[in-house]
């Protein structure tokens, strides 16, 4: 039975290690540390000091403790019970024979023999109490049986309400022990205090007489302590396992080494040594702080634990960004379909998934949607969303604190890593190298990786090794939304905001705002705010008045002349060439591309666009739009030029 109790204690100590890593120090010290464990291989009983602590642990932490027991036990985990009580008893008052600490009331039922340090008490707390024996003093007195352990009240914190009350017996026993100790102390002092005639009379105050008096008082105190130690001996015999554990405890060994090192030192030298050791300890604690969780670095402590029991990563996912709230259109249809396949089968053929497109087109929304879907399917999955700047900051902090191994272990233990805006890795060689090794480690374990950028992978000025890894899986683009998609986005946002938006009003905004989704959301929010302030329903007049400055900026930024200038600069030709009658491919292809962009990004009609391009007919403009749409499917270079110019014009 003693071995089974030791196994229960050891199991609870392992659980404490995990809980200390997962919880903040305040929560752990308030709710978990006061719990005392006992039981056997079939049942683990956790005793709380009061009803409030027990109910709180049952509500907040009982489920997590059961999970840890299941993970730590190879076979059937022990049944968990919560209750109120204590596995400690109050022993008779006693003093230590040669311990350096002063006499005090001993409330712990574990033995504290001569020369037994506090580390022995800590070790004894992990073992069952040895059997209570009979005690004899050094004088010839009849032995008295030691008090047996008081019964403990175990209250199961299960589904039934808790009606029992905690025991109050230990407090009464403690009061009695204080009284006994007081009487014993008075008796021993009266027995060892010298009589008045033994104290030298005070005649002439000389240095010799003062020295004699001081020597007499010192000897009196020593006799007093010796008398107490002679009449009081420990009630319990030390357990051999406890002594062995205490001697092997690092704290006990450190205390022994410190005592040996202090031999022959002066008081000043001891103070200097103690100050130096405190500073070294604080420095080690500072270096062991994690740059990710703010908790102590436990990479060495937990290196042998199961990977599934690692602290759950703070995913940083936005729960509002899901596939249901993502508005699908022609511009993002392919990207959404591929992202959904990755979410359903993470770590498959589309690994890594690289999504690129302009600002505010939905790349981040899709990334969060994949992460949320993975966690819905598998709540235990370790998913992490991070932008490249956060990754670099974490790595720099880890290098400064000397916790780079924990940094690597944290990121390489994820089930899905979502990195946003990787173009910020440019000119950061050390971060690129570490990110490269992290990608390799995750890809070898078939862990899903999703990357986003505002440009095509080959256009990012990073290491060629990283570019090759980006192209391993699937690269998909998101284009600026077309008119129908912009209208659908506005209607969806208005529905989420529970605001009535007429279809003609949504169409009017979509025709004027042609850049990206964030501009659409900002315009809609301004219209809703003005409608609430003016207490006026949303209509075309209200929209025109609310967004007149924004409409002016949009018309100025994306005009036909601006499109012609951007296309001419990209293809290294003159704007006059686009307006000329020349039909060579080097001129005709950019002219068709500029016409298609004008049709996509402006509200001008086909005849107006044809007139702006040298007085051409509207059928020429229509043919150019169809030709560019077909060439995007056939020629990758045309598709890349189209996406690049769209990003420049809508940025």
pLDDT of residue 367: 92
360 labeled binding residue? yes
448 shares a domain with 367: yes
SS3 48: strand
Q: Select from 478, 512, 546 the last residue of a domain.
A: 478
Phi (first) and psi of residue 502, to 5 degrees: -60, 150
Q: What is the distance between the alpha carbons of residues 647 and 456, in angstroms, rounded to a whole number?
A: 11
Domain that holds residue 427: 309-478
| 163-to-54, 82, 86, 166, 500 alpha-carbon distances in Å | 12, 13, 18, 10, 54
Q: Select from 501, 536, 556 the last residue of a domain.
A: 556
77 shares a domain with 111: yes
582: in domain: yes
SS3 192: helix
63: in domain: yes
6 touches 127 (CB < 8 A): yes
Among 132, 45, 143, residue whose Cα is nearest residue 91: 132
Q: What is the mean pLDDT of residues 11-23?
A: 86
The pairing of strands 144-145 and 448-453 is unpaired
626: in domain: yes
* CB within 8 Å of 228: residues ≥ 6 apart: 95, 103, 184, 185, 188
521 shares a domain with 382: no
52 touches 59 (CB < 8 A): no
* CB within 8 Å of 23: residues ≥ 6 apart: 32
pLDDT of residue 22: 85
Q: 385 has which bridge partners?
A: 418
Instruction: Give the tens place of pLDDT for each residue, 238-253.
Output: 455 545 555 555 555 6
Instruction: Give the tens place of pLDDT for each residue, 282-315.
Output: 666 655 544 444 444 444 444 334 333 344 456 7
382 shares a domain with 460: yes
More confident residue, 320 or 156: 320
198: in domain: no
401: in domain: yes
pLDDT of residue 2: 55
Q: Select from 223, 258, 293 the last residue of a domain.
A: 258
Instruction: Give the tens place of pLDDT for each residue, 180-192.
Output: 444 444 344 444 4
34 touches 53 (CB < 8 A): yes
Does 122 score more than 50 pLDDT? no
Peptide bond into 352 cis (omega under 30): yes
Residue 185: half-sphere exposure toward Cβ, Cα within 13 Å? 14
Tokens of 379: 């709540």
DSSP string across 57-87:
HHHHTHHHHHHHHHHH-SSSPPEEEEEE--S
Per the structure, how many domains does the chain have?
A: 4
Here the CATH number for the domain that contains residue 542 is 1.10.8.60
486 touches 510 (CB < 8 A): yes
Give the lowest-confidence range in 57-66, 146-155, 355-364, 521-530. 146-155
| 444-to-185, 299, 348, 448 alpha-carbon distances in Å | 72, 22, 12, 10
- Report the percent of the chain where pLDDT is more than 70: 64
299 touches 405 (CB < 8 A): yes
Q: What is the mean pLDDT of residues 592-611?
A: 87
Tokens of 273: 């040594």
pLDDT band at 364 (very low <50, low <70, confident <90, very high): very high
363 labeled binding residue? yes
Q: Spell out where 338-473 has E strands.
A: 353-357, 383-387, 416-420, 448-453
pLDDT of residue 419: 93
Instruction: Give the tens place of pLDDT for each residue, 395-434.
Output: 899 888 888 899 989 998 999 999 999 888 888 888 888 8
518 shares a domain with 388: no
Q: What is the distance between the alpha carbons of residues 637 and 593, in angstroms, rounded to a whole number?
A: 12
Here the CATH number for the domain that contains residue 451 is 3.40.50.300
254 shares a domain with 122: yes
290: in domain: no
Instruction: Give the tens place of pLDDT for each residue, 425-482.
Output: 888 888 888 888 988 889 888 999 999 998 888 888 888 888 888 888 899 988 888 8
588 shares a domain with 508: no
Among 58, 60, 59, 39, residue whose Cα is nearest residue 48: 58
Instruction: Give the tens place of pLDDT for each residue, 470-529.
Output: 888 899 988 888 888 889 999 988 988 888 999 899 988 888 887 778 888 888 999 999
Q: What is the distance between the alpha carbons of residues 618 and 623, in angstroms, rounded to a whole number?
A: 9
DSSP string across 570-632:
HTT--HHHHHSS---HHHHHHHHHHHHHHHHHS---HHHHHHHTTS--HHHHHHHHHHHHHHH
Here the CATH number for the domain that contains residue 34 is 3.30.300.180
369 shares a domain with 324: yes
160 shares a domain with 253: yes
Here the CATH number for the domain that contains residue 596 is 1.10.1750.10
540 shares a domain with 456: no
12 shares a domain with 68: yes
Does 565 score more than 60 pLDDT? yes
337 touches 393 (CB < 8 A): no
pLDDT of residue 402: 87
CA angle 538, 543, 544 (to 5 degrees): 145
502 shares a domain with 416: no
339: in domain: yes
CA 125 to the chain's CA centroid: 31
Tokens of 483: 């008119």
Among 123, 344, 324, 94, residue whose Cα is nearest residue 231: 94
205: in domain: no
């Amino acid at each position: 039975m003693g071995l089974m109790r030791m196994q229960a204690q050891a199991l609870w100590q392992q659980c404490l290690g995990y809980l200390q890593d997962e919880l903040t120090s305040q929560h752990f010290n308030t709710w978990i540390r006061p719990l005392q464990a006992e039981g056997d291989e079939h049942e683990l009983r956790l005793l709380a000091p009061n009803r409030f602590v027990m109910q709180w642990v049952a509500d907040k932490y009982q489920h997590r403790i059961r999970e840890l027991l299941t993970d730590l036990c190879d076979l059937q985990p022990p049944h968990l019970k919560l209750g109120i009580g204590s596995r400690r008893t109050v022993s008779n008052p006693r003093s230590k024979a040669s311990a350096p600490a002063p006499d005090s009331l001993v409330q712990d039922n574990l033995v504290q023999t001569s020369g037994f340090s506090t580390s022995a008490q800590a070790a004894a707390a992990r073992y069952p109490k040895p059997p209570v024996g009979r005690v004899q003093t050094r004088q010839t007195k009849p032995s008295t049986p030691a008090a047996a352990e008081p019964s403990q009240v175990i209250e199961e914190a299960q589904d039934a309400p808790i009606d029992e009350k905690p025991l109050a017996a230990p407090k009464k026993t403690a009061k009695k022990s204080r009284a006994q100790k007081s009487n014993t102390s008075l008796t021993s002092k009266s027995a060892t205090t010298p009589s008045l005639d033994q104290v030298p009379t005070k005649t002439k105050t000389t240095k010799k007489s003062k020295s004699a008096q001081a020597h007499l008082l010192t000897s009196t105190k020593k006799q007093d302590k010796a008398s107490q130690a002679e009449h009081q001996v420990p009630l319990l015999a030390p357990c051999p396992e406890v002594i062995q554990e205490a001697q092997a405890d690092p704290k006990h060994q450190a205390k022994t080494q410190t005592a040996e090192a202090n031999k022959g030192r002066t008081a000043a030298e001891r103070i200097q040594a103690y100050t130096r050791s405190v500073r070294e300890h604080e420095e080690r604690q500072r270096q062991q702080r994690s740059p990710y969780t703010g908790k102590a670095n436990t990479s060495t402590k937990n290196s042998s634990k199961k990977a599934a029991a690692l602290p759950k990563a703070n995913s940083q996912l936005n729960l509002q960004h899901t596939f249901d709230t993502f508005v699908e259109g022609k511009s993002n249809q392919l990207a959404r379909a591929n992202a959904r396949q990755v979410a359903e089968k993470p770590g498959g053929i589309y690994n890594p998934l690289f999504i690129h497109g302009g600002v505010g087109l939905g790349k981040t929304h899709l990334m969060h949607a994949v992460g949320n879907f993975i966690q819905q399917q598998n709540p235990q999955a370790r998913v992490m969303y991070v932008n490249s700047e956060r990754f670099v900051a974490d790595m720099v902090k880890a290098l400064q604190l000397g916790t780079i191994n924990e940094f690597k272990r944290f990121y390489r233990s994820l089930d899905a890593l979502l990195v946003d805006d990787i173009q910020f890795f440019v000119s950061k060689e050390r971060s690129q190298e570490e990110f490269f090794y992290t990608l390799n480690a995750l890809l070898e374990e078939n862990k899903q990786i999703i990357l986003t950028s505002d440009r095509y992978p080959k256009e990012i000025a990073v290491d060629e090794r990283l570019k090759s890894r980006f192209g391993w899986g699937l690269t998909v683009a998101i284009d600026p939304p077309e008119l129908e998609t912009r209208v659908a986005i506005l209607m969806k946002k208005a529905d989420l905001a529970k605001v009535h938006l007429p279809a003609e009003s949504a169409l009017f905004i979509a025709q004027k705002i042609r850049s990206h989704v964030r501009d659409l959301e900002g315009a809609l929010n301004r219209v809703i705010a003005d409608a609430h302030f003016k207490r006026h329903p949303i209509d075309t007049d209200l929209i025109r008045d609310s967004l007149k400055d924004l409409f002016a900026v949009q018309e100025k930024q994306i005009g036909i002349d601006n499109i012609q200038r951007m296309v001419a600069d990209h293809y290294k030709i003159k704007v006059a060439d686009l307006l000329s009658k020349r039909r060579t491919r080097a001129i005709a292809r950019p002219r068709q591309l500029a016409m298609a962009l004008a049709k996509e990004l402006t509200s001008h009609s086909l005849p107006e666009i044809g007139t702006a391009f040298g007085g051409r007919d509207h059928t020429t403009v229509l043919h150019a739009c169809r030709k560019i749409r077909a060439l995007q499917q056939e020629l990758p270079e045309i598709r890349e030029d189209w996406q690049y110019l769209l990003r420049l014009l809508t940025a």
